[in-house]
């Protein structure tokens, strides 16, 4: 079975631009969470979606938004990119609406110049 | 507030046991996790423990939970060079929305010397 997949693998953007990152969960998983991992730090929770509804949000500005599609895949959008948005963006999927085993994708490395 | 703290580095000799410690602050945590991250890779779920348990063993891995002190530890028996990686402790709490939020520590970098 395929694990969590994310695209693209790497991305370079300029300050002020917009970016869309994509995630496909493990088959059968209905919950998707997004995390930002800055170099040398642990992942920071951004969003959790379950059944296409936002169920949790971390302390990130409104420039960050996400959505989940009927097939449970998800997009993370970031507007007006800042240098500080450079990070590894991780997606995790889980079966339950509540907490449980979360499985992570390989991440998208975003560099903002 | 929600916070997870870990020591930053641990160095052990191959064949010895490694113990990585973690403290957390949210007493309503329901699941506590250990993840492994190798350079340039995503996070690999190693093991997790329910908050109503105090120990879980899975092959070379032993997780101990002291809920009173909010202390979690991961013991790796017979540590191998392939165990060299960053280990993250994480806690999950349920939100009022019915969803959940996971808080990670900064990670402990484990060096295994041959």
Task: Give the pLDDT confidence of B78-114 residue by residue, as tens digits.
Answer: 999 999 999 999 998 877 776 778 899 999 999 999 8
- The residue whose two tokens read 């998208």 is A108
State the Rg of chain B over Cα: 14
Task: Report yes or no: A50 at the B interface, CB cutoff 8 Å.
Answer: yes
For residues A44 and A36, is the Cβ–Cβ distance under 8 A?
Answer: yes
Which residues does chain B have within 8 Å of residue A90's beta carbon, measured at their own beta carbons? 42-43
Distance (Å, whole) CA A49 – CA A68: 7
For residues A76 and A33, is the Cβ–Cβ distance under 8 A?
Answer: no
- Strand A31-37 versus strand B9-13 pairing type: unpaired
Residues of chain A above pLDDT 70, percent: 96
Indicate if the pLDDT at residue A90 is higher than 70.
Answer: yes
Which residues does chain B have within 8 Å of residue A97's beta carbon, measured at their own beta carbons? 98-99
DSSP A9: S
Of B91, B16, B7, which Cα lies nearest the Cα of B51?
B91
For residues A21 and B84, is the Cβ–Cβ distance under 8 A?
Answer: no
Q: Which of A42, A56, A97 sits opposite B88 (nearest CB)?
A: A42
For residue B62, what are its two tokens?
């032993």
Determine whether the interchain pair A44/B104 forms a contact, defined as Cβ–Cβ distance below 8 Å: yes
**Per-residue confidence band for A97, with pLDDT thresholds at 50, 70 and 90:** low
Q: Please provide the average confidence, as pLDDT, over all residues in chain B.
A: 91
For residue B27, what are its two tokens?
């007493």
Distance (Å, whole) CA B75 – CA A24: 33
Q: Is A63 helix (H, G, I), strand (E, B) or coil?
A: coil
For residues A103 and A26, is the Cβ–Cβ distance under 8 A?
Answer: yes
Indicate if the pLDDT at residue A9 is higher than 60.
Answer: yes
Peptide bond between residue A8 and the one before it cis (omega within 30 degrees of 0): yes
**pLDDT for B29:** 75
For residues A23 and A32, is the Cβ–Cβ distance under 8 A?
Answer: yes
Chains A and B form CB pairs within 8 A to the count of: 75
Task: Report yes or no: A107 at the B interface, CB cutoff 8 Å.
Answer: yes
């Amino acid at each position: 079975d395929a694990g969590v997949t994310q695209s693209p693998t790497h991305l370079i953007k300029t300050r002020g631009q917009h970016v869309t990152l994509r995630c496909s969960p493990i088959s059968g998983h209905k919950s998707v969470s997004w995390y930002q991992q800055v170099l040398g730090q642990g992942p920071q929770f951004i969003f959790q979606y379950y059944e296409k509804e936002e169920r949790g949000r971390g302390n990130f500005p409104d420039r960050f938004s996400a959505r989940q599609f009927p097939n449970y895949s998800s997009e993370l959008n970031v507007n007006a990119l800042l240098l500080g948005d450079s990070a590894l963006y991780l997606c995790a999927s889980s079966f339950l609406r509540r907490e449980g085993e979360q499985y992570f994708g390989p991440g998208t490395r975003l560099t903002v110049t | 507030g929600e916070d997870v703290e870990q020591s930053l580095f641990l160095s052990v000799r191959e064949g010895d046991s490694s113990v990585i410690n973690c403290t957390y602050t949210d007493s309503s945590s329901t699941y506590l996790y250990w993840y492994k991250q190798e350079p340039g890779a995503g996070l690999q779920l190693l093991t997790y423990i329910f908050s109503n348990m105090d120990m879980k063993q899975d092959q070379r891995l032993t997780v101990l939970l002291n809920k009173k002190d909010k202390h979690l530890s991961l013991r790796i028996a017979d540590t191998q060079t392939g165990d060299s990686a960053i280990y993250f402790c994480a806690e999950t709490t349920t939100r009022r929305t019915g969803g959940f939020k996971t808080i990670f520590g900064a990670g402990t970098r484990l060096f295994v010397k041959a």
